[in-house]
Amino acid sequence: MKNKIQEGKLLYLAVGAAIVSGDPVMVGAIAGVAQISYDAAGKAVIDTEGVFDLSVKGENDDGNVGVAIGDRLYYDGTTTLSKKVSGKFFGTALEVVTTGTTATINVLVTKSSLAQGPYSVFAAGLHTVAASPEPSTTTTISVTGILATDLVFVQQAVDSAASPLNRIVTAIPQVSPAAIIVTTEGAPTAADTFQYMVLRKTT
């Protein structure tokens, strides 16, 4: 118990002036629910563990989707959580939300909401080179919500022995249109694939 100040479940932290009691709050990587409104000191008490009734919308970065029990929910600075991974991980859904609707449901917030490293996986997938307008030495991999500050990792998977070995020169995140722009030494063959991963800073 030496030097221990408190259990760390309730934290009195600086928050935005718009925060009122009952709002979801994120201070850096710390997720919780305000137990008092923003006060004269510019702070609020945040409960960082438990099950809370919170507003959740059935959508992700690509549009409307349903929320299922166990789905990860994210905070984007508003009072409504969603499955938009462009936000910060906040907690886990314990009830269902219908596609495109907003409902108040039980959300589990645990210390795992604090346990992220400096980066988390924002997107990952497999891009298949099309016959037209590709192939080209520039390949565009669409990634909704990507930021210029994200880290991207790309490798080409060659589909056939007839395809020449190729080397990736650059892989750059681009906001508009939202994509990874990959430049290669040679043009990949149609139906070749690129594996990609996008990491986003969480702190």
pLDDT at 159: 60
Choosing from 93, 114, 135, the residue where a domain stops is 114
Residues 90 and 64 in one domain: yes
CA atoms within 13 A on the CB side of 192: 23
Residues 105 and 177 in one domain: no
Residues 59 and 138 in one domain: no
pLDDT at 116: 53
Q: Is residue 146 in some structural domain?
A: yes
DSSP for residue 97: B
pLDDT at 29: 81
Total domains in the chain come to 2
pLDDT at 69: 92
Residues 124 and 106 in one domain: no
pLDDT at 163: 54
Residues 89 and 44 in one domain: yes
Residues of the domain holding 93: 10-114
Residues 83 and 110 in one domain: yes
Residues 132 and 172 in one domain: yes
Q: Is residue 137 in some structural domain?
A: yes
Residues 183 and 136 in one domain: yes
Residues 47 and 94 in one domain: yes
Choosing from 114, 129, 147, the residue where a domain stops is 114
- Mean pLDDT in order along the chain per 10 residues (203 residues): 82 90 91 93 94 96 90 92 88 94 95 59 88 87 91 81 72 94 90 90 62
pLDDT at 61: 85
Residues 18 and 102 in one domain: yes
Residues 109 and 126 in one domain: no
Choosing from 80, 114, 148, the residue where a domain stops is 114
Q: How many residues does the chain have?
A: 203
Q: Is residue 1 in some structural domain?
A: no
Q: Is residue 4 in some structural domain?
A: no
CA 8 to chain centre: 25
Q: Is residue 3 in some structural domain?
A: no
Q: Is residue 2 in some structural domain?
A: no
Q: Is residue 155 in some structural domain?
A: yes
DSSP the chain: -TT----SSEEEEE--TT--TT-EEEETTEEEEESS---TTSEEEEE-SEEEEEEEESEETTEE--B-TT-EEEE-SSSEEBS-TTSEEEEEE-S-B-TT-EEEEEEEE-GGGG---SEEEEEEEEEEPPSSS--SSEEEEE-TT--TTSEEEEEEE--STTSPP--EEEEEEETTTTEEEEEESSPPPTT-EEEEEEEEE--
Residues 31 and 96 in one domain: yes
Q: Is residue 61 in some structural domain?
A: yes
